[in-house]
């Protein structure tokens, strides 16, 4: 299967049937919000941790197919992994979005489908939004004092 087919199939599937769509209670979960004003995508991401392990991730949002599918893929990639593994996967995905000619790391697995967005540079922010929002939620978990309002990231 070439990258274009993989991209189309995975994005369509995860947009039609988003995985881990919903909310988690805060606390114990941590929430962050994300917005991509260029496209109008908005996301809320909740992360639940047990020590260094990401035990659950859920998201809600409105946006284009790519933003929803990428958020769905992000939850699958994060749940059940350590924060260090999630960080490594974030960096691989970020590399896909920012280095258009970089070879795809086999460790990306199904996330390689996101590389299809490189053919549509205006959509990269749609695809990266969920990942930046996840990072913000993990950072919120590190805050000593929980903030009354969840952190918000905005793609630039
Ligand atoms: Zn979008």
Domain extent listing, the chain = 3-143+150-154
- Residue 20: its pLDDT value, please? 98
CATH class of domain segment(s) 3-143+150-154: alpha beta
The span from the CA of 94 to the CA of 44, in Å, is 19
pTM recorded for the entire structure? 0.93
**Which of 134, 129, 122 lies closest to 154 in space, CA to CA?**
129
- Whether 116 contacts 11, CB under 8 Å: yes
- Residue 1: its pLDDT value, please? 60
Distance (angstroms) between ligand 1 centre and the Cα of 11 equals 12
Distance (angstroms) between ligand 1 centre and the Cα of 67 equals 5
Tokens of 109: 């697995």
- Residue 15: its pLDDT value, please? 94
53-62 and 41-50 beta bridge pairing? antiparallel
pLDDT, mean of each 10-residue run, the chain (156 residues): 82 96 96 96 97 98 95 98 96 90 89 89 93 95 79 87
């Amino acid at each position: 299967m070439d990258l274009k087919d993989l991209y189309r199939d995975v994005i369509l599937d995860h947009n039609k049937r988003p995985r881990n769509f919903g909310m988690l209670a805060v606390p114990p979960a941590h929430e962050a919000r994300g917005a991509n004003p260029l496209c109008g995508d908005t996301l809320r991401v909740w992360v639940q941790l047990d020590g260094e392990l990401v035990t659950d991730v859920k998201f809600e949002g409105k946006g284009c197919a790519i933003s929803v599918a990428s958020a769905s893929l992000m939850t699958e990639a994060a749940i059940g992994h350590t924060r260090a593994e999630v960080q490594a996967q974030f960096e691989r995905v970020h590399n896909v979005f920012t280095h258009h000619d970089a070879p795809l790391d086999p460790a990306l697995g199904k996330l390689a489908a996101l590389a299809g967005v490189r053919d549509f540079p205006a959509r990269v922010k749609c695809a990266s939004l969920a990942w930046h929002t996840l990072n913000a939620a993990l950072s919120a978990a590190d805050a000593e004092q929980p903030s009354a309002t969840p952190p918000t990231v905005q793609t630039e």
